Chains A and B, each alone.
Chain A
Amino acid sequence: KAGVTQTPRYLIKTRGQQVTLSCSPISGHRSVSWYQQTPGQGLQFLFEYFSETQRNKGNFPGRFSGRQFSNSRSEMNVSTLELGDSALYLCASSLEPGGDYEQYFGPGTRLTVT
């Protein structure tokens, strides 16, 4: 069974630009979550989607947005990039939300903003 895939794996953008990251969950998984990881702040939750609906949202500015498609694939978008947005962006999928369902993480997209 294929794991969670994220594209692209690496990305370099300049300040002010926008970026879209893509995540394909494990087949059959309907819940997708996004996290940002930086050396200073560690792993921080961005948002969670289930059945195309946002269930939870982390404490990030409105420049960060996401969506989920009917096939459970998800995208996240960051507009007006800032230097501080440089980070590893991780996507995780699970069968459904709920305590008895573990999350499986993808390899991440490393975004560098110059």
Chain B
Amino acid sequence: DAKTTQPPSMDCAEGRAANLPCNHSTISGNEYVYWYRQIHSQGPQYIIHGLKNNETNEMASLIITEDRKSSTLILPHATLRDTAVYYCIVNTGNTPLVFGKGTRLSVIA
């Protein structure tokens, strides 16, 4: 079973920041937080991952709370092409990724 809880769906206006929350209250000290997304009928796409510190790359920012029990993925300027299912996964890397149901993000023009 997935160790994360995400809202089933969210809407975001085009051009605005999309903030996707994820709860992982039972995360272990050696587990990373990964985010992937899947656009309809395509393979999942890696977005970002982190262990303790906040991370930023060209796609998104990952904010992890100090107690590591939750995190937020931020897409700074959402576009229609960001409409997808977003998966938050916690994993050490030594066990398979477990995908939950994710959050279906709809970016609206």
Show the binding face of A for B, using Cβ within 8 Å.
Answer: 4, 33, 35, 42-45, 48, 56, 58, 88, 90, 92, 97-108
Residues of chain B in range 31-77 having any CB-CB distance to chain A below 8 Å? 31-32, 34, 36, 41-46, 49, 51
Does residue B97 face the partner (Cβ distance < 8 Å to A)? yes
Is chain B's binding surface mostly helix, strand, loop or mixed? loop
Q: Is the CB of B92 within 8 A of A106?
A: no
Looking at the assembled complex, report how far the CB atom of A35 sits from the nearest CB atom of chain B, in whole angstroms.
8
Residues of B within 8 A of A104 (CB): 46
Looking at the assembled complex, report how far the CB atom of B2 sits from the nearest CB atom of chain A, in whole angstroms.
9
> How would residues 12 to 37 of chain B score, 1 for a CB under 8 Å from any chain A CB and 0 otherwise?
00000000000000000011101010
Q: Is the CB of B93 within 8 A of A108?
A: no
Residues of A within 8 A of B42 (CB): 107-108
A-B pairs with beta carbons under 8 A, tally: 56
Q: Is the CB of A90 within 8 A of B43?
A: yes
Looking at the assembled complex, report how far the CB atom of B57 sits from the nearest CB atom of chain A, in whole angstroms.
11
Q: Is the CB of A101 within 8 A of B98?
A: no
Q: Is the CB of B99 within 8 A of A42?
A: yes
Residues of A within 8 A of B100 (CB): 42
CB-nearest residue of chain A relative to B46? A102
Q: Is the CB of B98 within 8 A of A103?
A: no
Q: Is the CB of B44 within 8 A of A99?
A: no
Residues of B within 8 A of A102 (CB): 34, 46, 49
CA distance A59 to B42 in the complex (A): 24
Residues of B within 8 A of A90 (CB): 43-44
Some 23 contacts from A to B, beta carbons below 8 A apart, are: A4-B43, A33-B96, A35-B99, A42-B99, A43-B87, A43-B99, A44-B99, A45-B96, A48-B96, A56-B96, A92-B43, A92-B44, A98-B93, A99-B32, A99-B91, A99-B93, A99-B94, A100-B32, A104-B46, A105-B45, A105-B46, A106-B43, A107-B42
